[in-house]
Amino acid sequence: MCTFAIENHKTMNTPEEYLTQHGVKPTSVRILVWKEICHRNKAFTLSDVENALTDMDRSSIFRSLRLFTEHHLLHEIDDGTGMQKYCLCRCEDNHHVNHVHFTCTECGQTYCLTDYAIPIVELPEGFISKNIEYVIKGICHKCSK
């Protein structure tokens, strides 16, 4: 069973319950993929999951990640590294305002800084916000030592 690395209101559920609650039929493939990713507190790529689940084929993993994204279990994020990355949704209410990310320019890891609020920007008249991504570039706590 999965426990999230950080405090999370979704911790109490088994993977089966959690997927079902979010409209995803809990097939064995999806449960395996979910168990592999649900403890992650950094953004990950398809290859990261593939390397962890070596018995599973790439397209099954990809389809699961797509499905989880469609059902708001994951966010697709663009951290500027040119690779499609995913991270766990930890939204309390508005799924279109993602949490803050920190991308380390040394090790290339993207951390989910879920405890930090995204500053809200007042937009000019006529501009409508759909998605808010906030990525900070810098050197992480491991690389700055």
The contact set with Zn ion (CB under 5 A) reads 87, 89, 91, 95, 104, 106-107, 112, 140, 143
Q: Which is nearer to Zn ion, 32 or 112 (CB)?
A: 112
Q: Which is nearer to Zn ion, 67 or 104 (CB)?
A: 104
The two structure tokens encoding residue 33: 């993929």
Minimum distance, C-beta of residue 119 to Zn ion, in the bound complex (Å): 17
Are 38 and 88 in contact by the 8 Å Cβ rule? The answer is: yes
Are 136 and 112 in contact by the 8 Å Cβ rule? The answer is: no
**Alpha carbon of 22 to those of 44, 58, 86, 117: distances in Å?**
21, 23, 17, 25
Q: Which is nearer to Zn ion, 56 or 135 (CB)?
A: 135
Minimum distance, C-beta of residue 108 to Zn ion, in the bound complex (Å): 7
Minimum distance, C-beta of residue 92 to Zn ion, in the bound complex (Å): 9
Place of tokens 């990950």: 44
The span from the CA of 93 to the CA of 55, in Å, is 36
Q: Which is nearer to Zn ion, 67 or 112 (CB)?
A: 112
Closest CA to 17 of 73, 80, 96: 73
Minimum distance, C-beta of residue 78 to Zn ion, in the bound complex (Å): 12
Instruction: Give the max Cα distance, the chain.
Output: 52
